[in-house]
Amino acid sequence: MKSIFGFIFFILAAGQIWAGPGIKIVPDSIFFGTVPRESNFYAKIVLKSTGTAPLRIDSIQTICPCIKIPFNKGILSPGDSIILPISYNSESNIGQRNRFPHFYTNASDKPALLGVLSFVVSEPENLYPLCVRPYRISASQFGKKEVKNFTFYIVNKSGENMPLKLLYWDNEYYMVDFPSYVPPRDSVRGMIKLNNRGVANEFENSLTFEYINELDERKTYSIPIVRKRFNVEPEAQTK
């Protein structure tokens, strides 16, 4: 009988330990991979309230001014979630860059961490075994003529087939025509296709893809996308 009461006490005590607010960041790391320096990149995360009590988000400290996560203080009920945009400027120094923004909440005395990881390069066109040309996609408009499609090329300098997989893009402004692989010592074409909102607005965005190199290693690569509208006359106003 004592053992039964002991077991019940243990379950109740464990429930007390597990009760309370909880936080989960999905994904818990953003891998931008290879990026040109001094360029802007974008991603989104989901912030989830996983506990049995409301999650209070007190502050987000990005640690590095190269990262921006717009958010005000807020409370999430158990089971609720929000989507947060992340912007990252790849800085001027080349090499591996690992940043960890801190999320301060009532779920723990210690902050939850988000990894923002990249490898900054100065001359992306000289990369081996893969490079993208152009390494910055200008989707800009000059004058009245509207151009909706913008081409880029993925170049494979190795002697092996290189599988490709698109990981991230933002379809608010555009869609992506993206190849599934690039043959050895060859190049394939990709295309940014602006939707109506993309044509009508200026924006900065990026896309991220994965490739498998000749050593069967998975690598990540991100391409900045910028749209400006130059010398575009405003639409005539009707009286």
107 and 139 within one domain: no
**Which residue segment(s) compose the domain that 84 sits in?**
22-121
**Residue 11 in domain:** no
**Residue 101 in domain:** yes
132 and 105 within one domain: no
Q: What are phi and psi of 13, to 5 degrees?
A: -65, -40
225 and 129 within one domain: yes
147 and 103 within one domain: no
DSSP 160-223: S-EEEEEEE--TTTEEEE--SEE-TTEEEEEEEEE-HHHHHS-EEEEEEEEEE-TTS-EEEEEE
131 and 113 within one domain: no
pLDDT at site 60: 95
**Residue 161 in domain:** yes
Q: Which residue shows structure tokens 């602006």?
A: 194
Per-residue pLDDT of 156-193, as tens digits, reads: 999 999 999 999 998 999 999 999 999 999 999 999 99
**Residue 236 in domain:** no
Q: How far apart are the first and last CA of the chain?
A: 88
Domain boundary among 71, 105, 121: 121
Our CA angle for 87, 89, 90, nearest 5°, is 130
Q: Of all helices (H) and strands (E), which one includes residue 151?
A: strand 149-156
Q: How far is CA 223 from CA 187, 208, 237, in A?
A: 16, 6, 37
Check residues 5 and 59 and name the one with the higher pLDDT. Answer: 59
155 and 112 within one domain: no
Sequence-separated contacts (24+) of 216-220 with Cβ below 8 Å: 219/33, 219/34, 219/130, 220/31, 220/32, 220/33, 220/34, 220/167
State whether the Cα torsion 226-92-207-72 is positive or negative: negative
130 and 223 within one domain: yes
pLDDT at site 24: 97
| Amino acid (one-letter) located at 193 | K
pLDDT at site 138: 96
pLDDT at site 231: 77
113 and 44 within one domain: yes
d(CA 204, CA 214): 32
Which band of pLDDT confidence, cut at 50, 70 and 90, is reported for residue 30?
very high
Q: Domain of 100: which CATH number?
A: 2.60.40.10
145 and 73 within one domain: no
Question: Residue 22: is its pLDDT beyond 70?
Answer: yes
**Residue 237 in domain:** no
Q: What percent of the chain has pLDDT over 70?
A: 89
pLDDT at site 91: 87
What size, in residues, is the chain? Answer: 239
Per-residue pLDDT of 68-123, as tens digits, reads: 999 888 899 999 999 999 999 998 899 999 999 999 999 999 999 999 999 999 99
Per-residue pLDDT of 124-139, as tens digits, reads: 999 999 999 999 999 9
Domain boundary among 121, 138, 154: 121
194 and 140 within one domain: yes
Hey, which residues does 83 pair with through a beta bridge?
46
**Residue 12 in domain:** no
**Residue 10 in domain:** no
188 and 143 within one domain: yes
Q: Of all helices (H) and strands (E), which one includes residue 18?
A: helix 2-18
Question: Residue 155: is its pLDDT beyond 70?
Answer: yes
**Residue 225 in domain:** yes
Report the domain count for the chain. 2
Domain boundary among 121, 140, 158: 121
209 and 129 within one domain: yes
